[in-house]
Amino acid sequence: MISGKFAITIHILTLLTKYPNDYLSSEHIAGSINLNPVLVRKEIANLKAHHIVESKEGKNGGTKLCVDPSKITLKEIFEMTFENINLGYAKNQPNPACPVGKKINENLSSLYADMNQKVSLQLEGISLEDFSNQF
Amino acid sequence: MISGKFAITIHILTLLTKYPNDYLSSEHIAGSINLNPVLVRKEIANLKAHHIVESKEGKNGGTKLCVDPSKITLKEIFEMTFENINLGYAKNQPNPACPVGKKINENLSSLYADMNQKVSLQLEGISLEDFSNQF
DNA sequence: ACATTTGTAACATATTTTATTACAGTATGA
DNA sequence: TCATACTGTAATAAAATATGTTACAAATGT
């Protein structure tokens, strides 16, 4: 199972990019994603921690982008919302007495590290502005 | 959460590659992965369906590779055990009345398709033999 | 004051992954 | 032929993770 964090965050940021002058409420954003507003606020909390957006509390409050969407890439959003790309590990500790069990996780990790490098390179080439312009 | 299917399958295949002349029992393999033998047999069932291994029932039975490990790549194993690489979707149906909600999944899918292509290219360059030789 | 909104905690539900138990069927070899 | 050691598979349970809901204090504009 893969959590929707990245997708939700991209959705939020695309909306904020489309309406750069408005403070959008979590309710409004949640209506576009069709998601509970609390979950939207949780992802916004993460974005705030990374100084990508700013929020205003109280009436007419909401959230607003505080970076230039042409200056931030999907790679940064990926890193804020996703550990890393991988194809999983067997949960248990493999048997260290077996030459395969002993090294399997190390070898998988190295394979996955290569994967991440390739994916990062791809995502680095796409700015938030690029992504938003597709809509 | 990402299931361990790929990792378990790679582990099984690496063992079978190391002992190409033996029928290894699910119990034996499970001992290296430190996993329940039933789960090993389930992954083996999948490998059998793809004609990568063959099994022998009964006493002294077990499983054995039936392809040349230099001829099969990690890409094929990936495709047998993993839908595709992606960074997730918001679970609910996004709002079709919103221009972003309407196209978000399409645009994410296209992003993920590019990711898969890059990952596939990487995995295609690694044979099971290559992977096993790291141990 | 009042209405609206964020921020956050606490709790509930759903889904997915992993583990366990059970047992019928099959081959081996003493 | 009979005990033994396997596979194959179903059914069920447990654990982990993801998502949803309720509640309410605090902030702020009108």
Question: pLDDT tens across B53-108, in order?
Answer: 999 999 999 999 999 999 999 999 999 999 899 999 997 789 999 999 999 999 99
What 3-state DSSP class applies to B22? Answer: coil
pLDDT in tens, B32-48: 999 999 999 999 999 99
Say if residue B17's pLDDT is above 90: yes
Q: How far is B28 from chain A (nearest CA, A)?
A: 11
* Candidate from A35, A104, A135 with C-beta closest to B90: A35
Count other Cβ atoms within 10 Å, centred on residue B46.
16
Q: What is the mean pLDDT of residues A44-60?
A: 97
pLDDT at A44: 97
pLDDT at B91: 78
Is residue B69 within 8 Å of B129, Cβ to Cβ?
yes
- DSSP secondary structure string for all residues of B59-112: TT-EEEE-S-TTT-BHHHHHHHH-S-------SS---TTSHHHHHHHHHHHHHH
Residue A95 at interface with chain B, using a CB cutoff of 8 Å? yes
Residue A92 confidence class, pLDDT cut points 50, 70, 90: confident
pLDDT at B133: 98
Percent of chain B with pLDDT over 90: 95
Q: How far apart are CA B55 and CA B24, in angstroms?
A: 9
Q: How far apart are CA A109 and CA A101, in angstroms?
A: 14
Give the residue from chain B lying closest to A14, CA to CA.
B100
Question: Domains of chain B, with CATH numbers?
Answer: 5-133 (1.10.10.10)
Residue predicted with more confidence, B17 or A91: B17
Q: In Å, what is the CA distance from A89 to each residue of A106, B81, B87? A: 10, 13, 17
Say if residue A118's pLDDT is above 80: yes
pLDDT in tens, A9-18: 999 999 999 9
pLDDT at A1: 80
pLDDT at B93: 85
Say if residue A91's pLDDT is above 80: no
pLDDT at A126: 98
Is residue A15 within 8 Å of A131, Cβ to Cβ?
no
Report residue B135 CA to chain centroid gap: 19
Give the residue from chain A lying closest to B104, CA to CA.
A11
CB contact under 8 A, A126 and B111: yes
Using the structure, give the distance in angstroms from the CA atom of B60 to the C1' atom of C28, rounded to a whole number.
7
Residue B1 confidence class, pLDDT cut points 50, 70, 90: confident
CB contact under 8 A, B90 and A7: yes
Q: How far apart are CA B125 and CA B122, in angstroms?
A: 6
Ranges A63-72, B84-93, B118-127: which has the least confidence? B84-93
Percent of chain A with pLDDT over 70: 100
* Candidate from B2, B35, B135 with C-beta closest to A2: B2
Q: How far apart are CA A102 and CA B18, in angstroms?
A: 14
pLDDT at B119: 96
From chain A, the residues in CB contact with B111 under 8 A are: 74, 126, 131
